Amino acid sequence: MTTSLRSTSTPVLMILGSCTSLQFGAALATLLFEDLGSWGTTVLRLGIAGLLLLALSRPAAHRLDRRQWLAVIALGLVMGAMNGTFYAAIARIPLGTAVALEFLGPLAVAAILSTRRSDLLWVLLALVGVSMFGLESLQGTPLDAIGVAFALVAAVFWGLYVIASAKVGSLVPGQGGLALSILVGALVVLPLGAPGALHGLTAPGLLLIATGTAVLATLLPYTLELSALRRLPRHVFGILLSLEPVVALLAGMILLGQGSSPLRVLAAVLVVGASIGVTASARRAPDAGAAPAEEEVLVPAHTTVTGEMPVLDLGTAAPRTDALSSQAAPS
């Protein structure tokens, strides 16, 4: 029982840490937009984070086969597009609203991959909460249409990220695949952010902020999420990310001076309730809280310089899961 509780609580804590780090890092990144632009900030953030993780993991890139490289490149394309469009969104609309809209992507993944009716109910509850974040924003100052469009595009790529990162986790041991994918993501947005990134490299103060943003908004959350994804079924992983709008709301209040309201608090309660519900449902699963047979996890771990990273085994996934994975990362 204790082992089952620990095996569930550890990845949940990883996701909580990821949510907190990511949203506070995003708020910090807005300080760079005036000087670097949203795309320049994205390039610098991903580039620094990729180099740091590359130095830590030191992947044997020359040993990766064609299938592994295709998965790494696919994840890099998704990460570059997801981060670039999200930063373009929060440059135009409030952080909490942007995250609420972007969350529709992983929420859709959670619904598609769910195999239990109870999980669908929790997804619907989370969707109601997310919708209330958007409703609250619509009652105030009208939202910038371009910002909303960028957030919705980011939502699509966030959903693909959940799938593509699982593919990399199953094919590339340790964190080497993540490091290479982040660098690919930086190259993807480089044509749009090169001038701003170059300016940031020549200004020590801006470079320091960019480095902090890289650690808080890229390196730490992606490492935690990838590790959690290797320990949890993907539909559970997806709905636990419903905490993102709540943390974004807090980050906006604390760091950006964005106010709150009773409607936002109620929305936060619904979203957190959905997260608690799906976690409790996962603990009640057969075989002492283990993942369903079609989404088996926890094959032997690979040791890295940052600790053990259990690998998600996609080989036992259900047919519809395999189909989604192959579309996201054609490897």
Residues 14-43 have pLDDT tens digits of 888 888 898 889 889 999 999 999 999 999
Kindly report the CA angle at 171 between 84 and 50, in degrees rounded to 5? 35
CA distance 233 to 286: 13
Q: What is the DSSP letter of 215?
A: I
User: What's the pLDDT score for residue 282?
Assistant: 60
Q: Which residue has the tokens 């369903």?
A: 292
Provide mean pLDDT across the span 128-143: 71
Instruction: Quick: pLDDT tens for 154-193.
Output: 999 988 988 898 888 888 877 788 889 999 999 999 999 9
Q: For residues 331 and 214, which has the higher predicted lDDT (pLDDT)?
A: 214
Q: For residues 209 and 293, which has the higher predicted lDDT (pLDDT)?
A: 209
Single-letter amino acid, residue 114: S
3-state percent helix, strand, coil for the chain, nearest multiple of 5: 80, 5, 15
The total of other beta-carbon atoms located within 10 Å of residue 135's CB is: 13
pLDDT band at 305; cut points 50, 70, 90: very low
User: What's the pLDDT score for residue 4?
Assistant: 56
User: What's the pLDDT score for residue 308?
Assistant: 28
CA distance 171 to 75: 12
Provide mean pLDDT across the span 233-259: 76
Percent of the chain with pLDDT over 90: 29
Instruction: Quick: pLDDT tens for 108-130.
Output: 776 777 677 777 788 788 788 77
Single-letter amino acid, residue 178: L
CA distance 163 to 167: 7
User: What's the pLDDT score for residue 326?
Assistant: 29
User: What's the pLDDT score for residue 220?
Assistant: 86
What tokens does 252 get?
């906006």
User: What's the pLDDT score for residue 314?
Assistant: 32
Per DSSP, the three-state class of 310 is strand
Q: Is the dihedral of CA 153, 225, 301, 59 positive or negative?
A: positive
User: What's the pLDDT score for residue 202?
Assistant: 94
Residues 6+ apart with CB under 8 A from 205: none
Q: Which residue has the tokens 């919705």?
A: 152
Residues 6+ apart with CB under 8 A from 152: 101, 102, 104
CA distance 254 to 178: 30
Contact (Cβ atoms closer than 8 angstroms) between residue 245 and residue 127: no
Can you list the alpha helix ranges (DSSP code H) found in 242-301?
243-256, 262-283, 286-289
pLDDT band at 86; cut points 50, 70, 90: very high
The total of other beta-carbon atoms located within 10 Å of residue 34's CB is: 8
Kindly report which listed range (49-63, 213-227, 233-247, 306-320) carries the lowest average pLDDT score: 306-320
| Nearest in space to 44 (alpha carbons), one of 207, 180, 157 | 207
